[in-house]
Amino acid sequence: MVVWIQNPFDNLQGEGFRKMRYALMADAFVRAGHRVVIWTSDFSHATKCSRTLRRTSDSSSSCMSIQMVRTIPYARNVSLRRVVSHIAYARQWERDAAGVVADGLARPSLIVSSLPTISAAAAAIRIARRFGASVAVDVQDAWPETFERILPRWTLSPLRKMAQRVFREADIVTGVCSRYRELANRSDYVMAYLGIELGPRPALPCSNGPRRRIAYVGGLGCSYDLKTVRRAAEMLDMELAVAGGKNYLGQAELESFLSGCDVGVVPMSADSWVGLPNKLFDYAKAGLPIVSSLGGESAELIAKYACGATYKVGDVDSLSNAIRSALACEAGASRRMCEAEFDATRIYDSYVRTLESRI
């Protein structure tokens, strides 16, 4: 089977960062004997620069290839230019798809398209119908719901209707957490955690400086309550160590950074739709106790494995108490959670088998 996987955001293998969802998914399809074409942007969402990797062409001896889609660059994640970029990307991908098939690239039997973006997921359905393929829409983030914290809800109505149509028309809807079943409104929704490559079990993290360290990995935008984290760090006489914004670390650098910290924090806003963010997987792989403001699956898993604590976002006393509780957790508890729940090989091999059985 020929499988096309479309996502404009994830890092590619060879760019120095850890493998993310769609690279891990592609590996699983190849292990199952399928040929995979990864469609992505020629602009790196992580670094905000043009990609230096060249596209790789498909051949009879290749199990995986990459097709780059020309994309308008953008400097900020929340901006009109990013919206324009996403729309242009979807249109260009649709044109490119027709062109490469005409040039001899094998037609897809299955297209897996991430959502976001909504426009690219809608394009995936049109492309799939054109080529007689099945299409799976994979919900990685809640769009447009995630923008309700910065825009009036009524302004998002057209996008909401577009997303609902995508969910109705997709052959399969999958997603990274159980909560997104509500968005998809599909009884046959398939949940598969983001997951992470486990690698060897690391030495237990521990800061070497005079003060214990709180790790934060991720963006620095309005979705994250870092102000409260800074206040809690001061109250506890701890250091807040940040790897985010323009300080984007490669895999080896990230692992080294986390090995020198004592606890990882997930300070998401109260209105966040995120179920299990990428940073939680990084902390768990490193064996850090986890302090999170998220309810739902994050809170349930942290409690199940006694590997951290949940706090009330914006409440410095609640966060300080949660950090104290997390530091008292049994060493390595989060790593055991990672091995039991987030093993990428197990998650994506199961994901592939599920899609094989549905098409």
pLDDT of residue 58: 44
pLDDT of residue 166: 97
pLDDT > 50? residue 215: yes
pLDDT of residue 62: 75
Both tokens assigned to 280 = 């939680």
Residues 6+ positions from 352 with CB-CB distance below 8 Å: 25, 28, 29, 31, 32, 34
Nearest to 324 by CA among 276, 285, 289: 289
Residue 354 binned pLDDT confidence (cut-offs 50, 70, 90)? very high
d(CA 277, CA 294): 10
Nearest to 89 by CA among 66, 110, 114, 117: 117
Please give the mean pLDDT across all residues of the chain: 90
pLDDT of residue 170: 98
Q: At what angle do helices 251-259 and 278-286 cross, to 10 degrees?
A: 60
Percent over 90 (pLDDT), the chain: 67
Residue 59 binned pLDDT confidence (cut-offs 50, 70, 90)? very low
pLDDT of residue 203: 78
pLDDT of residue 204: 74
Percent over 70 (pLDDT), the chain: 94
Which range (33-42, 219-228, 288-297) has the least confidence? Answer: 219-228
Which range (15-29, 57-71, 304-318) has the least confidence? Answer: 57-71
Residue 14 binned pLDDT confidence (cut-offs 50, 70, 90)? confident
Task: Find the mean pLDDT for residues 311-319.
Answer: 96
pLDDT of residue 77: 78
Nearest to 240 by CA among 329, 322, 323: 323
Name the pairing type of β-strands 190-191 and 290-292.
unpaired
HSE value, Cβ hemisphere, 13 Å, CA-based, for 15: 25
pLDDT > 70? residue 270: no
Task: Find the mean pLDDT for residues 172-194.
Answer: 94
pLDDT of residue 271: 67
Task: Find the mean pLDDT for residues 318-336.
Answer: 96
d(CA 357, CA 359): 6
pLDDT of residue 69: 96
* Domains of the chain from N-terminus onward: 2-195+343-358 (3.40.50.2000), 213-341 (3.40.50.2000)
Q: Is the peptide bond preceding residue 155 cis, with omega within 30 degrees of 0?
A: no
Which range (194-203, 228-237, 246-255) has the least confidence? Answer: 246-255
pLDDT > 70? residue 56: no
Which range (99-103, 180-184, 338-342) has the least confidence? Answer: 99-103
Task: Find the mean pLDDT for residues 249-274.
Answer: 88
With 0-12 CB in 10 A as exposed, 13-18 as middle and 19+ as buried, what is 142? buried
Residue 195 binned pLDDT confidence (cut-offs 50, 70, 90)? very high
d(CA 251, CA 202): 14
pLDDT > 80? residue 156: no
pLDDT > 80? residue 320: yes
- For 165-179, write each residue's pLDDT tens digit: 999 999 999 999 998
pLDDT > 60? residue 319: yes
pLDDT > 70? residue 60: no
